[in-house]
Structure 1
Amino acid sequence: MKEDFLHYVWQYKKFDFSNLKTCAEDLLTIINSGQYLQLSGPDFFNAQIVLNEQKWAGNIEIHVKSSDWYLHQHEKDQDYDNVILHVVWENDAPIFRKDNSEIPTLELKKYVSKEVLENYLKLKTQKSWIYCENQIGSVEDFVLNNWKERLFFERLERKEIPILELRRETENNWEAVLFCMLAKNFGLNTNGEMFLKMAKSIPFSVIRKESFEVKNLEALLFGTLDLIPAQPEDNYSKVLRNQFEYSIQKYQLDKKNIEPVQFFKHRPDNFPTIRLAQLAMLYHENQNLFSKIISISKVDNFYSLFDISVSDYWQTHYQFDKESPRKKKKFSKSFVDLLIINTIIPFQFAYAKNQGKEASELMLELIQSIGPEKNTIIDKFSSLGVKSKNSFETQSLLQLKNEYCNKGKCLQCAVGIQLLKA
């Protein structure tokens, strides 16, 4: 038995409350079960009850055992002075206030039906992947679809957090924020943090000034990440080395100590050199990239925006001083989709909120126009009967798995609540 089940039973009144009595045999009537705010302090705020015809208003605290009150040291916390009812599964000890008056206790197990308890135990029996894996496929589409929308925006709000942190660090410079977020995602999971440190170490005013010459941008990006050979062999490498040293002096930039980027286990088109070359070309060809990003609302327009190649040198190289067969090395559709999902939509969402604009419908339209992501989590949900038609649904399912299933929050999940009603 866990407290989350008791919270669920109390919040949704899943017990026989027609003839309640406290453990002291006082008649109990619940007028208002209170607000479940999930904050510090008592579990339910602003409840109203009647005890032996005396009306009380205050808070409700819930525990598996009444002795948990002392285990959690609530008797020392003034936030619990206004508790008017202690709701427990098992009453194993009387509980007293600071003035030695006993707090009324309701023992819930006397009033919860066998069916409700069995549904809970069935749901919470450990499975191989998620608790409801044998039942989730039977959940009504209406319930699941509404829950997916809530999950999507929860995930979007989580992705918004680092964007807002960058906004504070850059003193509200949204162009700099966009550059940092794009750089991080160009680095993918392996090199994302190093790319982000690189982007944060170069003032965006410098990026803007140098974007008119792609080699100057490349020199800044490659040089900051210490990718240009110390003793370059070919002419272009020498040009970038000299340009980087010149830029360091010109803009009085500090040479940051950034961890080496990783090439290992990457396909050549995902080498950090190629991603940096693409990032440089993106800003070279779009000096007004910020205004384009915040104004585009159709996925096809994003595909057009990112329809760029790399500079001539990188069409015949994957690494410095090592020539390879010519290839334009354009963005793949799947990579642009990842940028839209993980960078652009969260950025547009955060910027719109900052400007006091409502963008929820636009975000939904955009994410629903992108095909479903492919990964082991989505494949597993599909095998359980929960299939995805687009990235809105896959993003929602990732939030469900990571923030609810993995953390056992079945009773805070619309799926779990629906299954308990079965």
Structure 2
Amino acid sequence: MAETETRTIERLRAGAGTYACGGYLGGLGTLQRTELCTTLIFDRLSRKMRMVEALRSEAADNWNQTFYLLYFRTLGDRRNQEAYLELARRVPYKTVLRERLAPHAVEAMLFGASGLLELYRNDTYTLDLKRSFEYLAAKYGIEPMEASAWTLNEIRPANHPVLRLAQAAEFFSQDEFVMERAMSCRTEEEVRKLFCIEASPYWRTHHIPGAESDESPKRIGAFKANIIGINLVAVLQFAYGSYTANERLRDSALTLMERLPAEDNRYMRDWQSAGIRPRNAFESQALLQLAAEYCAEKRCAECPVGRRIVRQTADTEDRTADILAFPEK
């Protein structure tokens, strides 16, 4: 490796923790920026496809159950991903489908199987849920989880598993063809129309079971719906399009990410501080891939952004200082 190239890689690695290449990315023209983001997006989608493939294998090649598992995986916070998935395994989609015309029964199965009702005091509604679950558990052989499987501390009320399960029950009760509708989403408006679901009336006056609160609709908000659009709809469109050799559906997944707003999280705020503001979810997902797979591991020599910077700094050392937005140590 040439001396200048080695020095450039060392400087990139030294600044990886603060995303020192952010200023360089922010200064690229639209075409170059899109080209780099596309490389990173395909990198990220390839990784996510492996996750979908594992779920599809678990679901015995049933794409509706795969969608169902991925929905629950995406529904809550990262700390409870495994708990949501375990619940979706204990109450599979085919069971929900059989009770779909009775939303209260779907709610009873999800709450009863989650074990969460045992944490709260009873009222008329929750006692009715428990009685319904006893019958449905015997009917379908559902074994409830331990409530300890859930992490409930420091969770915002709007993202509490209890509310998310109430919303999930309503979502899967509304339509038998939710996967088909998700596959047809092409815009942010269509994603929100499908996923901004309000929980059943009881939850208007309750954040948790058995404790009344001020009345307000408990609806999945636009921010959460957009996250579902990114991590469920676009990913499944790309995976299903790849499985069926449907290039139009794969392209639709990329277009949908371009039409959804960028996430607002600590990663994006750090990238903005470093000099680049993502314009949409396509770019924010590319930056997440860059941060997680390259910056965090200091894999600058393998990174598509790092390789481009190395090529541009091959001629003069001074150019390196211009490109990298951090002082040499």
Number of the residue aligned with 1:241: 130
- Residues 115, 146 of structure 2: 8 Å contact kept: no
Number of the residue aligned with 1:211: 100
Number of the residue aligned with 1:144: 33
Give the alignment of 1:71-220 within 5 angstroms.
112=2, 114-125=3-14, 129-130=18-19, 132=21, 136-138=25-27, 141-220=30-109
- Residues 112, 133 of structure 2: 8 Å contact kept: yes
Number of the residue aligned with 2:170: 281
What secondary structure is seen at the aligned counterpart in 2 of 1:212?
coil
Q: Is 1:333 paired with 2:257?
A: no
What secondary structure is seen at the aligned counterpart in 2 of 1:411?
coil
CA displacement 1:9-33 (0-9 Å, x = unmatched): xxxxxxxxxxxxxxxxxxxxxxxxx
Number of the residue aligned with 2:269: 379
1:334 to 1:168, Cα distance in 2 relative to 1, 3 A? same
Q: What amino acid sits opposite 2:109 in the alignment?
A: L
- Residues 194, 259 of structure 1: 8 Å contact kept: no
Following superposition, the deviation at residue 259 of structure 1 comes to 3.7
Distance 1:368 1:348 in 2: 14
Identity of aligned residues (%): 27
Q: Name stretches of at least 5 consecutive residues in structure 1 with no aligned partner.
A: 1-5, 7-111
Number of the residue aligned with 1:357: 246
- Residues 183, 195 of structure 1: 8 Å contact kept: yes
1:410 to 1:216, Cα distance in 2 relative to 1, 3 A? same
CA displacement 1:325-384 (0-9 Å, x = unmatched): 221111110000111111111112111212121133211210011111112222222222
Distance 1:369 1:304 in 2: 15
Distance 1:172 1:165 in 2: 10
Distance 2:172 2:292 in 1: 34
TM-score, L = length of structure 2: 0.87
Distance 1:168 1:357 in 2: 20
Select between 319-328 and 336-345 the one with higher mean Cα deviation.
319-328
Q: Is 1:411 paired with 2:311?
A: no
Following superposition, the deviation at residue 133 of structure 1 comes to 5.8
Q: Name stretches of at least 5 consecutive residues in structure 2 with no aligned partner.
A: 314-329
- Residues 114, 144 of structure 2: 8 Å contact kept: no
TM-score, L = length of structure 1: 0.68
Number of the residue aligned with 2:324: none
User: More strand per residue: 1 or 2?
Assistant: 1
Q: Relative CO higher for 1 or 2, CA cutoff 8 Å, sep ≥ 6?
A: 2
What secondary structure is seen at the aligned counterpart in 2 of 1:318?
strand
Following superposition, the deviation at residue 267 of structure 1 comes to 2.0
Q: 1:347 aligns with which of 236, 261, 266?
A: 236
CA displacement 1:232-277 (0-9 Å, x = unmatched): 6322111111110101111123334564323321222221111100
CA displacement 1:83-115 (0-9 Å, x = unmatched): xxxxxxxxxxxxxxxxxxxxxxxxxxxxx4x54
CA displacement 1:91-148 (0-9 Å, x = unmatched): xxxxxxxxxxxxxxxxxxxxx4x54454444444456524646755555654332111
- Residues 143, 414 of structure 1: 8 Å contact kept: no
User: More helix per residue: 1 or 2?
Assistant: 2
CA displacement 1:380-417 (0-9 Å, x = unmatched): 22222222111111100010111111222212223222
Distance 1:386 1:147 in 2: 13
Q: Is 1:392 paired with 2:282?
A: yes
Over the aligned positions, Cα root-mean-square deviation in angstroms equals 2.3
Number of the residue aligned with 2:323: none
Q: 1:308 aligns with which of 183, 192, 197?
A: 197
- Residues 229, 237 of structure 1: 8 Å contact kept: no
Q: 1:252 aligns with which of 127, 141, 154?
A: 141
Distance 2:143 2:30 in 1: 56
1:390 to 1:245, Cα distance in 2 relative to 1, 3 A? same
Number of the residue aligned with 1:370: 260
- Residues 21, 274 of structure 2: 8 Å contact kept: no
- Residues 25, 33 of structure 2: 8 Å contact kept: no
Larger Rg: 1
Distance 1:133 1:163 in 2: 31
Distance 2:299 2:245 in 1: 32
Distance 2:81 2:29 in 1: 39
- Residues 381, 387 of structure 1: 8 Å contact kept: yes
Q: What amino acid sits opposite 1:165 in the alignment?
A: A
- How many residue pairs get aligned? The number is 311
